Structure 1
Amino acid sequence: MQTYPTTEEMIPSPLPAQSFVASSSRRPNHLHILLITTGSVASVKAPLIVAELLRYKDVHVQVAATKASLVFYNKSSLEFTHAADNDGQGVKVWTDEDEWGSWKRIGDPILHIELRRWADVVLIAPCSANTLGKIANGLCDNVVTSLLRALAPSTPTYVFPAMNTMMYEHPLTAVHLRTIKEVIGYTVVGPIGKGLACGDVGEPSQPYRGYQQVHIAESIASSGIGAMVEWRDIVNVVVQRWDLDLRA
């Protein structure tokens, strides 16, 4: 019986495991955006976010992904599509496997440190309940949580929660959101009310006014929300903050 190659076999990654060094990867007068994807179905929007960000002048994008988030989009396909972007460096989806894959001895680059040095702005989109809890409690058990723990407090970091409505309304979510906003200093954007992949449908208890509407769970009891904000609104956070212009 004839067999056919899988999608992963048909679209090999153009960027094999390699060392990443911030000093040689950064470009003067460019905005370096690190997109972090975590284990929510909203990670399916990652390719759209990356593609839209790269439409703007002097923007470079890299992605750091938890293992769970890669259930929802094709890592190799995203890298293949953007192999010529970032001034020919390509867009790489960095994972736990890359963290120590090229590390041989003390003094070699460490991925989560290099990524935090590279990033001018960090977008955690989506931020699952699991990763939210880890960040709030200071865990460093993967490349994503390690780089966030090592991130300079001055680096603008935006968190876009995405989870089931009941997870969002759990009392611990309010505590975690308060911690990352008031203690760590991240900006929390969303979530919104819409039909969720699990079948739940929620409506916000307050009108949603684009990305400027920042919600914290304790302030909107019984909100019935949890979905990540629209992917274009995520891009607009960056576009408006840094006054970006489209490429010619």
Structure 2
Amino acid sequence: MSEVDDAIAAARASWARITEPGAAPSPQRTRTRRAPGHGMRRLKMIVAAALAIVVAAFVAGIVAPIGIMGAFLALVAIFVATATIAAWPAARDRPPPPAETLRKVDIKALPAQTERWLAAQRAQLPAPAQHLVDRIGERLDTLSPQLARVEPEGEAALEIRRLVGEQLPAFVGDYARVPEPLRRTERNGRTPDTALIDGLALIEREIAGMTERLAQGDLDSLQTRGRFLEMKYSGDAE
């Protein structure tokens, strides 16, 4: 299969995840969550740091000869930078951000930060809610690239911040504070477990809807350009 075919298949899978709220996370999604490519990013950072040190040593050598001691210090600096970057904990290994800080996070980083916080709450939730947490994490991953073009103070960003950075953490936090024996006790016709599951399902659908609305312009442009190409080049062929 060519790279173009792979890209088309990936685009169709992403669109299916947005438009089919009941679809389960794909095996590829599960593998991505377990191995998000931290090793390659670390390697790139190590190479960049080593190049920066070599360039700095070269420039210093032009100004004044650094000698053997200077070259040795440059090697030590490369070793220290490599060890520091290699030992630095990955994002998934660092403590999740406190819920109260999510409302102040930069809008572009908000989905990833909220997903980290939500993943830390997963173990204390009932099994159906854990499945929904995974689904919400997938929705947040899909939403994240769309936010690169969103005005930080615009209405769309404020709506996303309210749901993802405020209401979602507050909702899960309210459930977490309910004593465990009371979570399956019916109150006003529903148990806290049921209320949690229904609320998370609603949030998951709303995040999918936000992603679709943000992508609507690109989808319309793609469709319009495709029709133009068909009219121009199919007509010429005929």
Q: Same fold (TM over 0.5)?
A: no
| Greater C-alpha Rg | 2
Higher strand share: 1
Q: Structure 2 length as normaliser, TM-score? A: 0.23
Higher helix share: 2
